[in-house]
C-alpha cells in the first residue's frame, strides 16, 4: 500500500515539471482523464523533457536520485537525450549526526571507538544517499576511512521502491513508447542494485578481488579493506591520497604524462574485462583518482566497488571477436558472430543483418580514428541488433557503460587518444593467448577432477543402456538383423572405450604433470 503523503508529493512534482506531457493521453482510461483538465492551469514548459525529468528526480530526494543514476546507465532502454541528462544527477545529501554515526560504529565493533581507533573525525568527508564516510586513524597511526550505512535507510528504500513499482506499472500501460522503456524491468534492476549496496561486505569483497587482480601493478590501486573492523553496515579501508581525475589543472601542474594516463585507462578496462573477467562497472570520474607521485608513470586509484560486471565465457569471446571484426570492417563476420553467440535468433538473415551493421558502422569510419567511440559503436550495434530480436543482457549493458566512461575520461585527459591503436593489439594478443597450449592445458587441469568423476561412471551408464536394448532383442538362437546390429554396437562400444580411454589418459597425464603430481 503506497503511503498517501509520499504519493501526493510525487504527483505534485510530476505535474510541476510537466511530466504529464510524456504520457499518451489517448491510451489513458477515462477515470484518469479528468486529472489532465487541471494541467491547463500550468504553463507550457520552457525546458526539454530530459532536464525536466532530472530536476523532478532531484527534488524527490536521494532514493529517486539514485534511481535516476541507474537510468543514466541504460541507454539501451531509455532515449539517449534522457540518459545523457541523468548523468548530471549528484548523489549528495545532508549528513546524519556524529552521535548516530558513533553509535552504529560501536555496535558493529562491539567496542568503543576510543578503544579501537587512535582518532576519528566527527565531520564526514562525504555524505551520500546510502552511506556516510569519515576519516580516522588506526592505533598504529595508519590513515583510514570508515563507511557507515545510513540509519533507517532500508525502510525508506522499501517504501520508495513500492512507489516506483506502482509508477512503473502505470507507465507501462499508458505511457508512450513503453515497449522500449520496460519500466518495471528497470525498477527491478534498481531494486537488486540498491539492496545490494546496503550490505557493505559485498563492496568490500569486490574491492579485495580487484586489489588482488592488480597486485604489484602500475595500472590501478584499490584501497585495502580491514575486515577485522568491517561488517554488513560498516566498511573500514585505507585512506587514499590522490588527485581527482577531473582536476586536469592540478595534474598538469605536476607534469603528469596525460598520454600514458589515458592509454592506461583503456588497458585497465580490457584487462579487467578479458583477462580477469571482473570489472569495476561504476567508473565515473567521482570514483577515480590519480597517484601522480611519479608523474611520468601515473597510477589510477579506484574507489566505491559496489557495482561489478562479469561476462560469461562465451560473451567474453564474442565481444573480443566482434570488436576485432569491427576494426577490420568485416561486417559479415560481425553478423555471423551475433548469430553464433545466440544474441539474435538462429534463423536471422545474415545478409540482412550484415547490411544493417554496415549502415551503422561505415559512416563512423569516415571520421578520424581519434574521434571514433567504441562505446557508441556498441550502443548503435546493439540498437540495430534489437531490430533483429536481440535481447541485451545486463552484463553487456554494464560493459558498454563502462567503456563509454573510460573513453570519455581518456579523451578528456588526452584529446588525441587513439583508442583503436591501444585496443586492437590487446584484443589480438588476448585471442592468441586464449588458445595457446598453456591456456588449454590450464583449462584441462581445472576441469580434470570433474572429467575423471564422469569417466568413472560412464562404463556403468553405457552397460545399462546396452542391457536395456538387449532386453528388447529376440531369442539368442535366432540371429536376426537387429541382433547382428546389436552385436556390432557392442563391439563398437568396446573400441570406443579403448580410444576414449587412451585420449583421456593423455589428458589426465598432462593435468597431473601440470599439477606436479608426476
Residues with active-site annotation: 282
Of 455, 517, 462, 454, whose CA–CA distance to 489 is shortest?
462
- Grid cell digits, residue 438: 598453456
Q: Per DSSP, what are the bridge partners of residue 423?
A: none
Half-sphere exposure at residue 115, Cβ-oriented, CA atoms within 13 angstroms: 7
Rounded distance between C-alpha atoms, residue 142 and residue 236, angstroms:
12
117: region left, alpha or beta (phi > 0 left; psi from -120 to 50 alpha) = beta
Rounded distance between C-alpha atoms, residue 373 and residue 367, angstroms:
10
Query: DSSP letters along 156-206, please?
Result: HHHHHHHHHHHHHHHHHHHBTTHHHH-HHHHHHHHHHHHHHHT-HHHHHHH
- Grid cell digits, residue 224: 585495502
Cα distances (angstroms) measured from residue 482 to each of 461, 471, 487: 22, 12, 9
CA angle 262, 264, 266 (to 5 degrees): 80
The residue assigned the cell 518495471 is: 184
Q: Residue 300: which H helix or E strand, with range?
A: strand 299-302
Is residue 174 classed exposed, middle or buried when 0-12, 13-18 and 19+ CB atoms within 10 A define those classes?
middle
Rounded distance between C-alpha atoms, residue 494 and residue 463, angstroms:
11
Helical spans, DSSP H, in 198-257: 200-213, 248-253
Helices 350-361 and 331-340: angle between axes, nearest 10 degrees:
130
Cα distances (angstroms) measured from residue 44 to each of 15, 21, 174, 202: 11, 9, 21, 46
- Cα separation of the two ends of the chain: 66
Cα distances (angstroms) measured from residue 433 to each of 323, 350, 446, 510: 17, 29, 17, 19
Rounded distance between C-alpha atoms, residue 383 and residue 80, angstroms:
11
The residue assigned the cell 562525504 is: 126
CB 318 within 8 A of CB 353: no
Amino acid at each position: 500500500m503506497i503511503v498517501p503523503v509520499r504519493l501526493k508529493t510525487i504527483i505534485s512534482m510530476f505535474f510541476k515539471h510537466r511530466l504529464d506531457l510524456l504520457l499518451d493521453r489517448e491510451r489513458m482510461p477515462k477515470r484518469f482523464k479528468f486529472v489532465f483538465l487541471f494541467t491547463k492551469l500550468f504553463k507550457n514548459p520552457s525546458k526539454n523533457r530530459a532536464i525536466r525529468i532530472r530536476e523532478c528526480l532531484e527534488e524527490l530526494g536521494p532514493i529517486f536520485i539514485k534511481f535516476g543514476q541507474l537510468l543514466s546507465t541504460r541507454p539501451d532502454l531509455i532515449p539517449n537525450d534522457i540518459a545523457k541528462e541523468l548523468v548530471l544527477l549528484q548523489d549528495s545529501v545532508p549528513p546524519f549526526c556524529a552521535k548516530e554515526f558513533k553509535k552504529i560504529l560501536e555496535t558493529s565493533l562491539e567496542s568503543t571507538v576510543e578503544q579501537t581507533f587512535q582518532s576519528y573525525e566527527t565531520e564526514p568527508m562525504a555524505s551520500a544517499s546510502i552511506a556516510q564516510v569519515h576519516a580516522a586513524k588506526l592505533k598504529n597511526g595508519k590513515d583510514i576511512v570508515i563507511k557507515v550505512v545510513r540509519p533507517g535507510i532500508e525502510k525508506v528504500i522499501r517504501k520508495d521502491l513500492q512507489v516506483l513499482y506502482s509508477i512503473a506499472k502505470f507507465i507501462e500501460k499508458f505511457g508512450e513508447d513503453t515497449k522500449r522503456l520496460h519500466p518495471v524491468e528497470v525498477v527491478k534492476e534498481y531494486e537488486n542494485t540498491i539492496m545490494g549496496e546496503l550490505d557493505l561486505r559485498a563492496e568490500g569483497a569486490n574491492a579485495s578481488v580487484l586489489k588482488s587482480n592488480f597486485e604489484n601493478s602500475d595500472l590501478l590501486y584499490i584501497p585495502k579493506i580491514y575486515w577485522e573492523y568491517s561488517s554488513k553496515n560498516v566498511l573500514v579501508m585505507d585512506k587514499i591520497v590522490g588527485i581527482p581525475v577531473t582536476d586536469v589543472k592540478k595534474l598538469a601542474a605536476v607534469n603528469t604524462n596525460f598520454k600514458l594516463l589515458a592509454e592506461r585507462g583503456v588497458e585497465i578496462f580490457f584487462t579487467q574485462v578479458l583477462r580477469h573477467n571482473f570489472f569495476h562497472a561504476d567508473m565515473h570520474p567521482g570514483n577515480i583518482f590519480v597517484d601522480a607521485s611519479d608523474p611520468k608513470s601515473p597510477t589510477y586509484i579506484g574507489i566505491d566497488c559496489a557495482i561489478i560486471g562479469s561476462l560469461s565465457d562465451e560473451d567474453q569471446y564474442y565481444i573480443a571477436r566482434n570488436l576485432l571484426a569491427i576494426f577490420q570492417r568485416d561486417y559479415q563476420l560481425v553478423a555471423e558472430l551475433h548469430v553464433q553467440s545466440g544474441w539474435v535468433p538462429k534463423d536471422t538473415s545474415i545478409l540482412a543483418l550484415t547490411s544493417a551493421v554496415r549502415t551503422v558502422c561505415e559512416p563512423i569510419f569516415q571520421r578520424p580514428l581519434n574521434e571514433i567511440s567504441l562505446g557508441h559503436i556498441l550502443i548503435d550495434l546493439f540498437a540495430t541488433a534489437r531490430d533483429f530480436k536481440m535481447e541485451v543482457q545486463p552484463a553487456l549493458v554494464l560493459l558498454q557503460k563502462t567503456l563509454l566512461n573510460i573513453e570519455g575520461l581518456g579523451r578528456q585527459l588526452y584529446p588525441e587518444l587513439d583508442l583503436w591503436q591501444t585496443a586492437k593489439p590487446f584484443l589480438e594478443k588476448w585471442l592468441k593467448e586464449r588458445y595457446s597450449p598453456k591456456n588449454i592445458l590450464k583449462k584441462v587441469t581445472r576441469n580434470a577432477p570433474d572429467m575423471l568423476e564422469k569417466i568413472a561412471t560412464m562404463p556403468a551408464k553405457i552397460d545399462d543402456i546396452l542391457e536395456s536394448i538387449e532386453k528388447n532383442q529376440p531369442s539368442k538362437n535366432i540371429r536376426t538383423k537387429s541382433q547382428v546390429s546389436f552385436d556390432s554396437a557392442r563391439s563398437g562400444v568396446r573400441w570406443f572405450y579403448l580410444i576414449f580411454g587412451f585420449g583421456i589418459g593423455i589428458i589426465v597425464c598432462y593435468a597431473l604433470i601440470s599439477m606436479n603430481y608426476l
